[in-house]
Copies of this chain bind each other. A is one copy, B any other.
Amino acid sequence: MHMATKTEIIAVGSELLLGQIVNSNAQFISQQLAENGINVYYHTVVGDNPGRLKQAVKTAQERSNIIVFTGGLGPTKDDLTKETIASLLGRKLTTDEEALRSIEDYFVNVNRPMSENNKKQALVIEGSDILKNEHGMAPGMAIQTDGITYMLLPGPPSEMKPMFLKYGLPFFRKALGRNDKIISRVLRYFGIGESQLETDIQDLIDGQSNPTIAPLAGDGEVTLRLTARHQTEAEAVKLINDAEKAINERVGAFFYGYDQTTLAEELLRHLRQRGMTISAAESLTGGLFSDQLTAVKGTSDVFKGTIVCYTNEVKEAMLGVSKKTLEEHGAVSGQCALEMAEQIRKLTGSDIGISFTGIAGEEPVEGKKPGTVYIGLAVKGRQTETHQLLLAGSRNGIRKRTVKYGCHLAVKALTENTAE
């Protein structure tokens, strides 16, 4: 397998041909292979039909030397990938005992009877390398024969992705004798637009190929993906470090974290580092801020609780915002945000109270424009801040960006006022 790689990714599943789902698996695998210098020349999608699947495999055998399959490893009679390939290669299916045990364990765990057809998921093609499924039942497998490498992966992305990263990709790298190190790092920015960030570092993007610098925008954030390759990991890391330094000399003011982190996780990290706690009063955001904090594991040491005060009644009775403020300034006001933040801090006894109020809908409220948002930030021992924002976009876009701004402002308050 030292010749030029010609990869074909075959997704098996009628639901793709009916347009019920999009072939995100092919995108994910392609991205990973591209980063590893393995050429992908074709994607194919074929339904749960043995004749057409067989024909598609034959076509792939003529034009490709790596064939990656996704889907069709499930328990139903529609799932035919293993059976079809085994028959084409003239091999038998045998039960993988480890996979069988893990399937049995699963049913014991959820306290449900295991049906006979679930055993089918433990069948593997004779003589194949097994790729363990740590997030589901059907194992993957890889077979090298007659100059072609076949890899079978499950269809659900939640099973396929971790299996491919942990077992699939290393299998290919080993088979191809790849021992250069490839290191990727994602730099995350908030508060700067994509075109501005690109303009600021265009010469860096154009001027270098190792690492490559790939910008991507989404959900009000911009990320830069740096990918370096070198014989040694230390050198690859150094290449990335140097590029990061050059980039952040220009746009570091907007940088907030690495890789898959989120603004909520960064806020939690900064709180934990300082042994501080937070609580929230959410009107506009209706629980989204709290949800994002608690979606992270082990948040209860720094997050105390929240009052979602969607009505003025709750703002007044439960949270203790003054009647006067609600009457004179309105619920969408800096004064209301200020009292919300201070009151929730007092009620929970946390170090920081944060509040969100504003207008996500399309109609003006209390004479204020749609998209008007107030964030209050009450930090122990400091004067309470309030921030006014004017955001554009959809109802949920505004709510999401408001939460991001809240995290961003809270991190700024923490890093400005206490030592790292």
Contact = CB atoms under 8 A, between A and B. Distances in A.
Interface string A291-313: 10111011110011111111101
Given A27-B21, A295-B399, A290 B286 contact: yes
B45 A18 contact: no
B297 A287 contact: no
Interface stretch (A35-43, A138-146, A229-237, A239-247): A35-43
Contact of A19 (B21, B27, B282, B285): B27
Given A23-B26, A287-B306, A299-B310, A42 B46 contact: yes
A305 B315 CA distance: 9
A261 interface: no
A405 to B, nearest CB: 15
Given A23-B22, A34-B19, A307-B305, A318 B293 contact: no
B310 A307 contact: no
A42 B45 contact: yes
A30 interface: yes
A76 to B, nearest CB: 8
A52 interface: yes
A40 B59 contact: no
Contact residues on A (Cβ < 8 Å of other chain), bracket:
35 or more
A24 B26 contact: no
Interface stretch (A83-91, A321-329, A389-397, A412-420): A389-397
A267 to B, nearest CB: 14
A41 to B, nearest CB: 6
A330 to B, nearest CB: 14
Contact of A290 (B27, B109, B287, B298): B287
Contacts of A317: 347-348
A209 interface: no
A227 B195 CA distance: 43
Contacts of A294: 285-288, 308, 310, 399
A176 interface: no
A17 interface: yes
Nearest to A225: B20
A345 B52 CA distance: 59
Secondary structure of the A side of the interface? mixed
A300 B311 contact: yes
A361 B285 CA distance: 25
Number of chain copies forming the complex = 2
Given A22-B22, A45-B26, A309 B305 contact: yes
A184 to B, nearest CB: 12
A216 B15 contact: yes
A17 B31 contact: no
Contacts of A23: 22-23, 26-27, 43
Contacts of A16: 26-27, 30, 43
A289 interface: yes
Nearest to A109: B392
Nearest to A396: B295
A95 interface: no
A94 interface: no
A133 to B, nearest CB: 15
Interface in A335-362: 347-349, 361
A318 B305 contact: yes
A114 interface: no
A179 interface: no
Contacts of A158: 394
Nearest to A52: B41
Given A22-B22, A22-B26, 11 more contacts: A16-B30, A19-B33, A20-B216, A41-B49, A43-B44, A59-B59, A286-B290, A291-B291, A304-B314, A305-B307, A313-B348
